[in-house]
Amino acid sequence: DEQEKVLVARQPKSSRLQARAVRSLAGGTTSSWQIHRPQPIWVSHGSGSKVYDVDGNEYVDLHNGYGAMLVGHGHPLVVEAIANRARAGTHFAQPTEDAVVVAEDLAQRFGLPLWRYGNSGTEATMDAVHLMRAISSRDKIIKIEGSYHGHHDSVQVSVYQEMPEIGPPHAPRSVPASSGIPRAIVDQTLVVPFNEIDVLERVLRDHPGEIAGMIIEPVMMNIGIIPPAPGYLERVRQLTREHGVLLAFDEVKTGFTTGPGGVTRLYGVVPDIVCLAKSLGGGVPCGAIGGSDEVMSFIANGGYDQVGTFNGNPLTMAAARAVLTQILDDGAYSRLDALREEMVAGCEEIIGKYELPAYVRAIGAKGAVIFSPTEIQGYRDFLTVDNRFSHAHWLYQLNNGVFLPPWGKAEQWTLSVQHTSEDVQRFITNFRRFAEALS
């Protein structure tokens, strides 16, 4: 409570803007997950690794727009690409050359030959689900309990909420994640726990000829960070193939942040479809699906109409081209690796010294201090974690110039190519003082 008061005292203009906003924006903000205590951070601008609120407070940005800003704010090459495109027209509903360059680059990175674009991660996973259903002429899909794949009906199932009626751990019920999701659609989504291959095997066996495909985030990133157990992704690939079920990797979060070709390349397991968004567009709304010849020929032949007014939008494509071909090269990933190691080493030293009930998980540019004494293995564990530590830590960092994602226990930090060791040290210093204050 004390830290919330400190924050509000530092943000008088933000408070006034918030009071004004509730009269014209539902809930006083632009997305429901921007509503959090004590108030949203009303941003004036971002530059490099920093963001500034309307009160002039500076923050090292480790939220990074839910990880979309892997290239950092106002990257000169992205700015140039966007400015050039803005002058030359931003929308024609016809393809531009940049769309081909981006697809060629994505094919190299993810090992899948054919691509299409949309405007968000939600559209990417929606297209993937539609495509799997269209190809198989089946309705059911499998998803992982607790995985977030965007806000379309088929995947708004068994995610995020504290739910009393979720069934036993090895036979989870499919529960709508919010109101407004028809039961009839929820019933088409079968839910299995992450890293539990036996349950997946049973579900596949129990529904012969009924399941179109499976969608999975190959490293879970919406309930902290949970990597796949050794061999798990390989078995998922093998089992889905054996049962004639298509496999889509949701790499909306992991796509470029975990490495140049996401988890797909990192683990060497190639799905039928990859879904991308977030950091692909360097801060411009974006989404993409990539697939095998076999799968994507279904789009090419008109078996599934993958459409959208803004698909392949020239502004997005220009930004994505700069991101992929000019910024996210091997050197960028080496620098991100070095920063991650500095973050992890600093956090682990503090956790050890102050005997905090916490641990660190990090992969690529992503990482999190997870305030749980034991390792979170899946959604059930996640639901039992007390969010108060994460929220207190979030507030403490914010009041001392570091902006982490709110919803502490679920989200993680994202480093950008413009972050420096100095930025990392600001976070570490705050974490040390927070740990001191706790003990």
Interacting residue ranges for ligand PLP, rule: CB under 6 A:
66, 120-122, 125, 148-150, 217, 222, 250, 252-253, 277
> Which of 253/340 has CB closer to ligand PLP?
253
> Which of 226/350 has CB closer to ligand PLP?
226
Q: How far is CA 317 from CA 43, 91, 105, 125, 310, in A?
A: 26, 11, 12, 19, 11
Query: Rounded to the nearest whole angstrom, what is the least distance from the CB of residue 178 to ligand PLP in the complex?
Result: 14
* Residues 275 and 249: beta-carbon distance below 8 Å: yes
CA gap 401, 246 in Å, rounded: 45
Query: Rounded to the nearest whole angstrom, what is the least distance from the CB of residue 263 to ligand PLP in the complex?
Result: 11
Q: How far is CA 259 from CA 111, 325, 333, in A?
A: 14, 15, 7
* Residues 30 and 376: beta-carbon distance below 8 Å: no
Cis link prior to 169 (omega < 30° from 0)? no
Query: Rounded to the nearest whole angstrom, what is the least distance from the CB of residue 420 to ligand PLP in the complex?
Result: 26
Pairing of strands 413-414, 366-370: antiparallel
> 58 is written with which tokens?
């500076």
Residue 148 is a catalytic residue: yes
CA gap 203, 141 in Å, rounded: 11
Query: Rounded to the nearest whole angstrom, what is the least distance from the CB of residue 410 to ligand PLP in the complex?
Result: 10
Give every CB contact of residue 215 below 8 A, 6+ residues apart in sequence. Answer: 125, 128, 129, 132, 141, 142, 143, 147, 149, 155, 248, 250, 275
- Classify 122 in phi/psi space as left (phi over 0), alpha (psi -120 to 50) or beta: alpha
Residue 61 is a catalytic residue: no
> Which of 311/400 has CB closer to ligand PLP?
311
> Which of 346/364 has CB closer to ligand PLP?
364
> Which of 46/121 has CB closer to ligand PLP?
121
> Which of 128/356 has CB closer to ligand PLP?
128
Residue 66 is a catalytic residue: no
CA gap 404, 398 in Å, rounded: 7
CA gap 417, 161 in Å, rounded: 34
Query: Rounded to the nearest whole angstrom, what is the least distance from the CB of residue 349 to ligand PLP in the complex?
Result: 30
> Which of 252/317 has CB closer to ligand PLP?
252
Helix (H) or strand (E) holding 331: helix 330-353
Query: Rounded to the nearest whole angstrom, what is the least distance from the CB of residue 275 to ligand PLP in the complex?
Result: 7
> Which of 41/216 has CB closer to ligand PLP?
216
Length, in residues, of the chain: 439
> Which of 145/250 has CB closer to ligand PLP?
250
Query: Rounded to the nearest whole angstrom, what is the least distance from the CB of residue 277 to ligand PLP in the complex?
Result: 5
Segments of 251-406 assigned E as strands: 273-276, 287-291, 359-363, 366-370, 402-403
CA gap 112, 294 in Å, rounded: 11
Of 50, 143, 278, 366, which residue is the catalytic one? 278
Residue whose CB is nearest to ligand PLP in the complex, by number: 121
Give every CB contact of residue 347 below 8 A, 6+ residues apart in sequence. Answer: 360, 369, 428, 431
Query: Rounded to the nearest whole angstrom, what is the least distance from the CB of residue 148 to ligand PLP in the complex?
Result: 5
> Half-sphere exposure of 318 toward its Cβ, with a 13 Å CA cutoff?
18
Of 250, 304, 359, 379, which residue is the catalytic one? 250
Query: Rounded to the nearest whole angstrom, what is the least distance from the CB of residue 223 to ligand PLP in the complex?
Result: 11
Of 66, 148, 267, 396, which residue is the catalytic one? 148
Residue written as tokens 């979170």? Answer: 376
Residue 240 CA, distance from chain mean position: 24
Residues with a known catalytic role: 148, 250, 278
